[in-house]
Amino acid sequence: MISKLKFSSITVLALFASLANAANPAETEADRWNLKDMYKSQADWDKDAVRLEAQLKEFTACSGKLASSVKEFKRCMDLNSDLQKRYALLASYAFQWRDEDTGATAGMDLSQRADVLGNKLQEASSFASPELLKMGRAKVDAFLKKDKSLAIYRQPLDNVLRSAEHTLDKRGEALIATFGSATNAAEAVYGTLSNADMPWPKVKLSDGTEVLVDQSAYTKYRSLPNREDRKKVFDAFWGKWKEFERTYGVNFYEYLKKSTVYSKVRNYPDSLTQALDGNKLPVAVYNTLVEQANANLPTLHRYFKLRAKMLGVTEMRYYDIYPPLVKSTQVYSIKDSTALMLASVTPLGDDYVKAMTLGTKSRWMDVYSRPRKASGAYMNGSAYDVHPYLLLNHNDDYASVSTLAHEWGHAMHSYLANKAQPYITADYPTFTAEIASTTNEVFLLNHMMKIAKTDEERLLYLGSDLENLRGTFFRQAMFADFERTVHAKVDKGESLTGEAITKIYGDILKRYHGDNEGVVKIDDLYTVEWAYIPHFYRGFYVFQYATSISAGSMFAAEILKGTPGARERYLNVLRAGGSRYPYELVKQAGVDLASPAPYQALVARMNKIMDQIEAIQAKKAN
């Protein structure tokens, strides 16, 4: 019965984010989000926290009374909804204040207080699911029939009732809730070791510069134009992870065992089924994605060969993956980026554009980097009665334009869902969240190609989109392939060492990159990459980036073609929020993610982009 905060992001979760370290001298108050739209002061936050504590006691008193009468049932359901909404606002303010300056004690303290409130909320709510199951579907349906205002709870109630065989009794659920805060050791160890305690190496680059290759430096320097410098960075970075392979192996194995234990406790056949059942996702979606990614590896290999040609390398290596295909010095200010984004989404209609325009002018965004500000980008749509918030680190380059469009796709999803749904069904799962963001990226590319004045511009936009498709579809599908393999082994009772995990990941990594065929050669040292990926500590999560970009590509293509009803079908997916199960919602809108069609359409899009790039190259060669 406890809701999750609606943070959507194209980057690593805030838990694992490194810190931004450069301030933008042009920043003004208009470039900072306005947290006072949530609370005017911390004193107001404190008052609301006290109110939440009181509501928690009141809700706990509902235990044993849900079935007593329709009136009592409605009172408790309404109370549950209100306290969840209040907690989401409290947590949003606290976490976003922390992210403004991750080194400030006040923000850290408030975020910790919000975490404590979240744990209390989970404990206070633990009785609800077992009690609803004890009532049974017949009695719940009878209550819904007697009081029509309870209709807004039909979907969340169904989600509880259908999980009868996977829910423990009241005592069991309370025990699981109590242990909730004590079973995240693996994730915590990963975050601390990887971000705070790792003894990062130093390398001297070809220009004489000595750099400390930590996570943020790796992200920056892995795309250097000098190939030998890239190799130095890769060798140093992955060499350090290799030194800790044994430790990360023990840590990740503990996480995998926890996943297996929870699947057994809740009577699931395996970890994958349990992870997907929370949103009633068919296992066929996951398996079809992995199968289609493997079936279409020739397209990925075509991309790598094209990349090698454009970079001028005869033998593509893993450290040649990240340099941009086209260099550009063009500047895209936040003003220009916003104008481009707004122009690109006109296919979604005037109302969509007007709402987005209002948001861009109303301090919903925190735009630029500052010392100790959280890095990356995310959207938080959990402030239901306020508006979505966006954290950016705008760099005035084209990648920043794409990030802006992506995050505003999330923001408009939340805006439309919050406007159309009551709080209890406004929240939407990741499975649909990334559809909104990737659809807007397709619109952006379409617009940029229309206004591009030179072939160099076109190559920049096409190359950027192609790399995004590679990273979001094939790379995430590769991660999904790996997760399915290691979880299955532990579910069967097999042990895994760090070395064994590296072997499993390395085989998959090399298959996807065509190592045996000579497409991209992967050094064995680099196959410890699995230890670096934080999302593996959120089991069976990343596959949704790949399914979403596939669905988003299909929705955008139909809208741009002018297919009758396509725009409304897509917007209705956004407006639906969490009022329906996501797979069924998307399927009814015309995209079946358990079938090969969406993935084949995305691969066709990649091939079309490569056709355009090769045509431009051929014209330049003549």
Closest CA to 501 of 254, 189, 289: 254
pLDDT surpassing 60 at residue 13: no
pLDDT surpassing 60 at residue 231: yes
Q: How far is CA 47 from the centre of its chain?
A: 32
- Residue 22: what pLDDT? 52
Region 19-34 average pLDDT: 72
- Residue 620: what pLDDT? 83
Q: How far is CA 172 from the centre of its chain?
A: 31
pLDDT surpassing 60 at residue 23: no
Q: What CATH number corresponds to the domain at position 78? A: 1.20.140.70
Q: What is the mean pLDDT of the chain?
A: 92
Burial class (CB in 10 A: 0-12, 13-18, 19+), 367: buried
- Residue 1: what pLDDT? 41
Whether the CB-CB separation of 348 and 567 falls below 8 Å is answered with yes
- Residue 585: what pLDDT? 97
pLDDT surpassing 70 at residue 106: yes
pLDDT surpassing 80 at residue 622: no
Rg (CA), the chain: 24
Domain presence at residue 181: no
485-493: Cβ within 8 A, 24+ apart: 486/256, 487/256, 487/259, 487/260, 487/270, 487/271, 487/272, 487/539, 487/540, 488/270, 488/271, 488/272, 490/253, 490/256, 490/257, 490/259, 490/260, 490/271, 491/260, 491/263, 491/270, 491/271
pLDDT band of 6, cuts 50, 70, 90: low
107-112-118-122 Cα dihedral, nearest 10 degrees: 170
Residue numbers of the domain that contains 128: 14-167
- Residue 165: what pLDDT? 83
6 vs 55: which has the higher pLDDT? 55
CA distance 86 to 95: 14
pLDDT tens-digit map of 342-355: 999 999 999 999 99
Distances (CA, A) of 424 to 125, 126, 161, 586: 15, 17, 16, 20
The CA-CA-CA angle for residues 109, 113, 118, to 5°, reads 145
Domain presence at residue 76: yes
pLDDT tens-digit map of 123-153: 999 899 889 999 999 999 999 999 999 999 9
Domain presence at residue 205: no
What is the count of structural domains for the chain?
A: 1
CA distance 158 to 80: 16
- Residue 183: what pLDDT? 65
pLDDT surpassing 80 at residue 610: yes
Domain presence at residue 87: yes
Domain presence at residue 95: yes
Q: Supply the residues annotated as catalytic.
A: 407
Distances (CA, A) of 618 to 276, 310, 609, 614: 46, 12, 14, 6
What pTM does this model have?
Answer: 0.88
pLDDT band of 219, cuts 50, 70, 90: confident
Whether the CB-CB separation of 407 and 33 falls below 8 Å is answered with no
Q: Which amino acid is at 410?
A: H
Edge-to-edge strands, sheet with 365-366: 7-9, 378-380, 389-391, 365-366
pLDDT band of 179, cuts 50, 70, 90: low
Domain presence at residue 128: yes
Domain presence at residue 45: yes
pLDDT tens-digit map of 320-330: 999 998 888 89
pLDDT surpassing 60 at residue 391: yes
Q: Which amino acid is at 2?
A: I
Provide the β-strand partners of residue 7: 380
Q: Which of 94-103, 368-377, 506-515, 529-538 has the lowest mean pLDDT?
A: 368-377
CA distance 574 to 412: 8
Provide the β-strand partners of residue 390: 365, 379
CA distance 286 to 502: 23
Domain presence at residue 431: no
CA distance 406 to 400: 10
